[in-house]
Structure 1
C-alpha cells in the first residue's frame, strides 16, 4: 500500500492520527497532516483505510502496490 495526502485539502481534524499514529502526524503550528510512513506495513493497512474513510476533507488516498 502507498499512502498519499493532500495537505491543501486537510482541515486539521486529526482523525487520521487517532486511527493510525504510526502513519500520520500533524504539524504543530496548524494541525495539517504530515505523512510519517508512505508505505506502511501490512498490519497497519486496515488502520490507514479507516483513517482515509474518516477524513472529513478526503485528504487521504491509498493505492495498492504489488509485492516484489
Structure 2
C-alpha cells in the first residue's frame, strides 16, 4: 500500500503558495499583492517557511493519509 497523502498535500500547497500566482507576501510595492505573477527573493523565502509549516501541520499533526491498493 502506498500513502499518497503527503504527496497530495505537497502538490496542493505548492500550487497555492507559489509566490505571485494567487498572492505574494511581501509584495514588491505593498505588503500583500494578489495575482501579480512577479516574485522576489524575500517572497520566495517567506512562502517557503509558510509551505514548510503547513506541510508539517498536515502531515505530522493532522496525519492526512490517502492509501491506494
Q: Do both share a fold (TM > 0.5)? A: no
- Which TM-score tier does this pair reach, normalised by the shorter chain? 0.3 to 0.5
Structure number with greater Rg is 2
- Say which structure is richer in helix: 2
- TM-score relative to the length of structure 2: 0.33
- Say which structure is richer in strand: 1
